[in-house]
Structure 1
Amino acid sequence: MSLSLSPSIPSSSSCLRLHAHFIPSLPPMSILRCLTHRFPCRLNLQRHRFASVAAAAVRQDTTVWTPAPLSEVEPAAESLFHVSVDLSDSPDLAASHTRAGQYLQLRVPDAPKPSFLAIASPPKLASARGVFEFLVKSVPGSIAEILCGLKKGTVVEMSQVMGNGFDTSQIDPPEKYATVFIFATGSGISPIRSLIESGFSAAERSDVRLYYGARNLQRMAYQDRFKDWESSGITIVPVLSQPDGSWTGESGYVQAAFTRTKQITNPLSTGAVLCGQKQMTEEVTSILTADGVSSDKILKNF
């Protein structure tokens, strides 16, 4: 029997030689027990690593990929693109989108790995028109940049829809949770659009505000939808971190703008929805909870 050791276990020159007079008299299983006794942590670490690799392989194998053609790739704002995928031949995938805030993985031809994308369109659009819409930020050197450079008709692959999305049942009924603050930065507006256009009884609440942060107006997507969003009962507060000299609205960071204007009259009847930069979501959460808003009324999509 030959005995091979993991590279992370001391080599024979540094370890086995010190105990060579013990090993010839031991049967093979005794050798293993001896090694386990002397190096339990390192052997356990190797088992953990092997188990992690195996588990990852199983997870990868369970992903079901559905091919579908791109139906639109158009600029949405500076560095942002509208991307639509035609699901007319994949009704099961379209029907699996049931709640705003859900996401999926998308693979493009010749890319080494998939990209996670939040679905920007409301679930009803998938069921009515057989389409998923995304807002994608084109980052140089990323898979997103490749996706934003593809042409209509190019076939991509999508995983099954993932995540629980925004559980708006936590802020229902609207008469009990009359105040809802919504926060988004950059492409984080994508699942927020899905939420707004899915409808969460905004018109039946007394104060629903969307604080939407971007560098400038050129980087702010969905401005053409603001009028419809406002007609649904939402007050939109654009916040620009680097505005030009003509800007008279809120400037700086979203969390700072909210601190200046929040006016939380009753924290027990207040809810919130957040999506965007980690610093923003963490600081806004701290502000809300410090003012008495229950953490389970602060909705996130992850």
Structure 2
Amino acid sequence: MSLFISPSPSLTLHPHAYVSPSMSVLRRLHLNLRSSRRRLATVSAAVRRDTTVWTPAPLSEVEPAAESLFHVAIDVSDAPDLAASHTIAGQYLQLRVPDSSKPSFLAIASPPKLAAKHGVFEFLVKSVAGSTAEALCALKRGDVVELSQVMGNGFNIDLIEPPEKYGTVIVFATGSGISPIRSLIESGFDVGNRSDVRLYYGARNLQRMAYQDRFKDWESSGVKIVPVLSKPDDSWTGETGYVQAAFSKAKQISNPLATGAVLCGHKQMTEEVTSILVANGVSADKILKNF
């Protein structure tokens, strides 16, 4: 029941002088309800964050791959379900190292068939000071890390099939972005049945360009490799500058409607290359990315 006091005719009261006790209770209840909702939202968010399933797995190899880049192989033979979940080039996962609470997202560099046949995931990891990646690159063979489930839809090559219809596929990679591109090339995407498959691969210099030992095999499969160095030494006679500039200069898109592209690397590169391709008539839905 509200308590109401009728004022004297000669008494002037402030308009807020009459306070209903029941209204005060309602306000307190409302505030408590809001606080409870905030706590519930926090708990719910924590539950969502904790849904990642972590699988321990030992390192089988940690070796330099190029300047500031490391080749890392992880034995997942004791986790067949995890190994089998890598089904398409371009997928990635999270990795945790001991004594580090922050995971690192890493694209899987090896083709799915390697995990299926040998129980191994391979990665190309850029060591960045103070990061989980740097801690990973400092580990040794036999050290145990934790892996999340494999994530992402990868490169949807079905969008540029059949190869007879999409004879031209232009691939772009910069830095460690070559990692999932390696997975794609070594998975195979009917390169032999396409008329023109090119890889524009950008790095600062040859010392920072990984997988040079694989170039011969990639080219024998039908991929023309165009290395592009932004700061080469004086002996370099190939393409210089940035990938997007090298491609813009060459272009060579004979039939835009029969052209697809695959991109992975720096944001500026992917945005500028996409603009160039679309401006030259390549359909935006034929430009594939893995994120």
- TM-score, normalization by structure 2: 0.90
Matched, 1:88 2:77: yes
Partner amino acid, structure 2, of 1:207 = D
* Aligned partner of residue 264 in structure 1, secondary structure: coil
For 2:96 and 2:28, the matched residues in 1 are separated by 48
* Aligned structure 1 segments of 4 or more residues deviating by more than 4 angstroms: 18-21, 30-33, 49-52
Report the equivalent of 1:74. 63
Which position in structure 2 is the counterpart of 1:120? 109
> Is this contact kept in 2: 1:275–1:281, CA < 8 A?
yes
SS of residue matched to 1:258: helix
**1:62, distance to aligned residue in structure 2 (A):** 1.2
Q: Counterpart of 1:159?
A: 148
Task: Measure, in 1, the Cα distance between the counterparts of 2:137 and 2:200.
Answer: 27
Measured after TM superposition, the shift of residue 112 of structure 1 is: 2.1
CA contact under 8 A between 1:23 and 1:31: conserved in structure 2? no
Confirm or deny that 1:260 pairs with 2:257: no
Post-superposition offset of 1:54 = 3.9
Per-residue deviation at 1:253? 0.6
Describe how 1:147-296 pairs up with structure 2 within 5 A.
147-296=136-285
RMSD between superposed Cα atoms in Å: 2.0
Q: Compute the displacement of 1:282 (Å).
A: 0.5
Q: Per-residue deviation at 1:20? A: 7.8
Counterpart check, 1:22 vs 2:40: no
Q: Distance in 1 between matches of 2:194 and 2:60?
A: 36
- The C-alpha deviation readout for 1:107-165, integer Å capped at 9, x for no partner, is 00001211000000000000010000000000111110000000100010000000000
For structure 1, the residue ranges without an aligned partner over 5 or more in a row are: 1-17, 37-42
Who is 1:5 aligned against? Answer: none
CA distance in 2, matches of 1:236, 1:91: 34
- Unaligned runs of at least 5 residues, structure 2: 1-14
- 268 and 31 in structure 1: CA distance in 2 versus 1, 3 angstrom threshold: same
Provide the C-alpha distance between the structure 2 equivalents of 1:20 and 1:65, rounded to a whole number of angstroms: 61
Is 2:93 the partner of 1:104?
A: yes
Q: For 1:59-94, what per-residue CA distance to the aligned partner results, in whole angstroms no more than 9, with x for missing partners? A: 222111000100000000000000000011111100
Which of 46, 49, 56 is equivalent to 1:57?
Answer: 46
> Does the residue aligned with 1:57 lie in a helix, a strand or coil?
helix
Between Structure 1 and Structure 2, whose CA radius of gyration is higher? 2
Q: Is the partner of 2:202 in helix, strand or coil?
A: strand
Identity of aligned residues (%): 76
CA deviations on 1:263-298 (whole Å, 9 max, x unpaired) are: 111110000000000000011011111111111100
SS in 2 for 1:292: coil
